[in-house]
A and B are shown apart, each in its own frame.
Chain A
């Protein structure tokens, strides 16, 4: 292997390391990431929280009084309801869940002021419940506000809050919905209520076995049953996300719907081995498979075929197709020649025939040819979006970069310059396919995505989750 090859391999090995979030994303038991005036916020155990301007780079600065542990946040109307456990799992299992309102999550805003917290649930230290780890759902079908809470000390319980006051709804009594888990929350989708909860051990760094599981029910009060028919009151649960790579022990799931087909989960990893074993914030795509949520993957840097879901063709440079010097060997005729591998077509074999300036694109039969392979890496850019950085997409082995144009088309430019129209956002969608979007479309305020216009023509247009024109797959192309 030559030096260039070795360097490439090392770069790939380094960049393949899974990254949760960047900046100072250190937090334990994060609340569901909430957006407020264009910024993202999450609050953690102990008080305070993290803020991000773009959802990728995080820093401290969030303010949540009250101490305690494992808060959650939900926006209701034009206010934010912040819910937290007063104790964080006291040894005597006495605990309380409190709620408080704020008009904004931005501590620098003149409107930033928390209301007096009110108690909505308690545990007396004897009952089979420890009132910590709240999670909330505003039922989109009824407008009713539900809260689950509890930890391994007995049951996870469900109560109903008044969405106008944040107080316990008058006369409401807790309902047991799960056992031996913690950090629960509810999600509604397509007629099902999903109860997500964390199993395994926390607070033991790289030895923590935290993982998130799910059960579902047609009724908010349960029973929540897993994929093999086991109730969460029997410990049941289907895995949503577990340790991946150097990111150990995910827990405290929070559900974020950005738009139709684009959903994320916020969580923390008990330990990020790449960051000294610290507990860090993580954001992953949510995929819905056969009616169950499962964690998608943060996009991995590699060289890919970019496949249009519309027809299955691959994105390619609009250059002449160059035949390989391997003719048909004849069919049905005896041939006893030795069988030898044939070298794939090389970039150098074809590149010399390409224009040196901008080259347009098309979508064509994927033939594993040099004009069809794209190397996608984290762009040398500090900005990102919720859960990921912007990517640089270049033709493999070249610096020829994919770019958006002022007339909402796409082409390649001879060299990557880092211009925002050459930076690409990649989101895994709820069906497992991907959306590819330029950071900007020059001279346009529109938010457009790479789409297939006809089978063979790539362009930029409004993203439509209901159309396969808007979706892409990445297939490793080495």
Chain B
């Protein structure tokens, strides 16, 4: 029952629900009572907890990379998170996303491709770009922010990648899933919005039919999340719904 709530929310909900009824906890259930709760046993740390990117990412090489065997795009330029004060994720309406992504933007040129290691300003925050390959089909931005020791919750993360097509591919759809809200642009045009409190589900939303140009195509993305793990996955599907895999990915 955790869900992407503030950690206190389940407790608050429990207390409020209990208080709402005569008899309080008696009707809700028998409360644990003072001192009844068993303290957590000692839980040893099971793995590497250092702040390092190499656990979940590799530094992107300059050579082109193919998508994974299901067509997911694992190479991205990822900007350090823009810190946002977000209490809960169901505030991500269409209007909220448009307004926020417009206001907290590093560039209004949606075809610009930042350089790895470059810093940009968003508001008064100086943020750095990282060129990364995710080791998984998805890009877990919680892992990213943990690795660089930046805020993990209440964040907006900008993303850019470059798709090389050996030939024009018509009638493809950009397919994405994210936690929690996001917008995606292809070659400067808005392609897809995922509003609301979403879970990172493959192909959760798909764009209208698009054309991938022969040569260089630029994807811009923005993912926003309050509590919980920020996360996303993106691929292209052909007109039959199959993953587009005859493309390559680079960050320059």
Interface residues of A (CB under 8 A from B): 24, 26-29, 43-50, 59-70, 86-92, 94-96, 98, 117, 119, 122-127, 130, 132-133, 151-154, 179-183, 199-205, 207, 209, 230, 234-237, 251-252, 276, 278-279
Contact = CB atoms under 8 A, between A and B. Distances in A.
Given A43-B29, A48-B30, A152 B229 contact: yes
Contacts of A50: 29
Nearest to B202: A234
Contacts of A44: 28-29
Contacts of A200: 3, 197, 199
Given A47-B30, A67-B32, A209-B90, A127 B46 contact: yes
A94 B201 contact: no
Contacts of B1: 28-29, 45, 69-70, 88-89, 132-133, 151, 182-183, 202-203, 251-252
Contacts of A98: 38
A45 B14 contact: yes
Contacts of B43: 94, 96, 122-125
B73 to A, nearest CB: 14
Given A47-B36, A69-B1, A126-B47, 17 more contacts: A24-B23, A47-B32, A47-B37, A60-B29, A64-B29, A86-B37, A89-B7, A95-B40, A122-B41, A124-B46, A126-B45, A127-B47, A200-B197, A202-B1, A202-B3, A203-B3, A204-B88
B237 to A, nearest CB: 12
Contacts of A89: 1-3, 5, 7, 10
A450 B97 CA distance: 57
Interface string B34-52: 0011101101111101000
A60 B7 contact: no
A98 B3 CA distance: 20
Contacts of A183: 1
Nearest to A42: B29
Given A133-B1, A235-B201, A46 B36 contact: no
B26 interface: yes
- List 8 tightest A-B contacts by C-beta distance, closest first: A89-B2, A48-B30, A91-B7, A235-B201, A48-B29, A67-B32, A67-B37, A47-B32
B21 A26 contact: yes
Contacts of B37: 47, 66-68, 86
B31 interface: yes
Contacts of B228: 152-153
A234 B229 contact: no
Given A60-B28, A201-B197, A202-B3, A87 B40 contact: yes
Contacts of B46: 124, 126-127
A109 to B, nearest CB: 16
B201 A152 contact: no
B200 A179 contact: yes
A86 B38 contact: yes
B25 interface: yes
Contacts of B44: 124
B2 A152 contact: yes
| B2, B33, B138 interface centre (most CB from chain A within 10 Å) | B2
Contacts of B38: 65-68, 86, 98, 117
A86 B40 contact: yes
B199 A235 contact: yes
B55 to A, nearest CB: 10
B208 interface: no
A376 to B, nearest CB: 31
Contacts of B148: none
Interface string B13-27: 110011011010111
Contacts of B33: 47
Interface in B184-237: 196-197, 199-204, 228-229, 231, 233
Contacts of B21: 24, 26, 278
| A44, A95, A252 interface centre (most CB from chain B within 10 Å) | A44
B47 A203 contact: no
B8 to A, nearest CB: 8
| B179, B196, B201 interface centre (most CB from chain A within 10 Å) | B201
29 contacts: A29-B1, A44-B29, A46-B14, A46-B29, A47-B33, A48-B30, A61-B26, A67-B32, A68-B38, A86-B37, A88-B1, A88-B2, A88-B11, A122-B41, A122-B43, A125-B43, A126-B46, A126-B47, A133-B2, A151-B2, A180-B199, A199-B199, A202-B5, A203-B3, A209-B90, A230-B201, A230-B202, A230-B203, A251-B1
